[in-house]
Structure 1
């Protein structure tokens, strides 16, 4: 047996020993990431449960609940989310340059977080939560730990999925101005998305759902126009219809 043949098993063994160490380290890191993500999921469930009250079409216990009151509980959870994303950033600091290696471990949860924050922001302001604003709220504005653009965009699509239900229940509650406002918002959001060259298949599918959401809100608004229930001046309405 030659020297080269003797060395082959040893070098193979060393290589696989190195693999074992690296895989164990990655597994340990992923477990720590998952622990933080589980806490993020718990907070988002609480936020979502609180926000469900905005969909009520009838007053609760005889008293009409305003969006300001509904937002108190979920808004109180935002600082907790920021702290958890800070812990996530600390874990990832141990493996610089490998953000996207572990990205899938918190991607879905972050998309949900963005949708909740964007919905809360819209309820408060009637405007879109910008990418930089979402990053600031979550503390994801570091060079090595930023909010992925596709996660932000998918979160906005999840936001649009909430709008048709919100519009219908607001109309049932007597808020006849809501469809016009939501239609204008979704029309602008849809137009902004059309500027993008979407290569991600999932994001493209979610964009298709946004178009469907817009259509459903349009139907509610036009039905109200026919019934002479819609508020707003005709010039603004015509401008909205021209964009859709």
Structure 2
């Protein structure tokens, strides 16, 4: 697939850039790597049905978890859109993936302002999807 080739090119660039230690704490670079992790993880979840490992993405632990936290927002939006389209089982899948992300983040017990904000972001996405799944069950849509 063309998208996979583009992603692999981006990963090679990322691997080259991560060798420069000065970039590790540079804000725009960190944000770009988190976006990369989020985009590639989204691809894995939607096309392959699972969350990729940190190793598969070539990312450090913190960046991986921050990217997955951002991914939860995208999966929440997809789950909501799936519910609107009457695709209840897909909404449940998105809820399950966000629940898995939340478990990964809680297991690591991250500190810090950004980590706390990102954890809250995942918790919100999970709660929103749980509410939607509950509503679908009540209405016999599931």
Q: TM-score range by the shorter chain?
A: 0.7 to 0.9
* Residue 119 (structure 1) aligned with residue 51 (structure 2): no
Tell me the equivalent position of 2:14. 85
User: Is the CA contact 2:14–2:33 (under 8 Å) kept in the aligned structure 1?
Assistant: no
Tell me the equivalent position of 1:175. 87
* Residue 107 (structure 1) aligned with residue 48 (structure 2): no
The correspondence for 1:206, drawn from 118, 122, 125, is 118
SS in 1 for 2:141: coil
What is the TM-score of this pair, normalised by structure 2? 0.88
User: Is the CA contact 2:34–2:63 (under 8 Å) kept in the aligned structure 1?
Assistant: yes
Q: How does 1:43-192 map to 2 (within 5 A)?
A: 72=1, 74-88=3-17, 92=20, 99=21, 101-105=22-26, 106-135=29-58, 147-192=59-104
What is the TM-score of this pair, normalised by structure 1? 0.53
SS in 2 for 1:228: coil
Structure 2: how far apart are the matches of 1:170 and 1:229?
A: 12
Structure 1: 5+ residue stretches without partners: 1-71, 93-98, 136-146, 231-244
Which structure has the greater CA radius of gyration?
1
Q: Structure 1 residues 152 and 171 mapped into 2: Cα distance closer, same or farther (>3 Å)? A: same
Could you tell me how far 1:112 is from its partner in structure 2?
Answer: 0.4
Structure 1: how far apart are the matches of 2:139 and 2:67?
A: 34
Structure 2: how far apart are the matches of 1:74 and 1:169?
A: 23
Greater percentage in helix: 2
Aligned residues: 140
Q: Structure 1 residues 89 and 206 mapped into 2: Cα distance closer, same or farther (>3 Å)? A: closer
Tell me the equivalent position of 1:41. none
Structure 2: how far apart are the matches of 1:208 and 1:184?
A: 17
RMSD: 1.8
Structure 2: how far apart are the matches of 1:187 and 1:196?
A: 15
Could you tell me how far 1:163 is from its partner in structure 2?
Answer: 1.5
Give 4+ residue runs of structure 1 displaced > 3 Å after superposition: none
SS in 2 for 1:198: coil
Deviations 1:9-34 (A, max 9, x none): xxxxxxxxxxxxxxxxxxxxxxxxxx
Structure 1: how far apart are the matches of 2:57 and 2:11?
A: 10
User: Is the CA contact 2:18–2:24 (under 8 Å) kept in the aligned structure 1?
Assistant: no
Structure 2: how far apart are the matches of 1:114 and 1:102?
A: 16
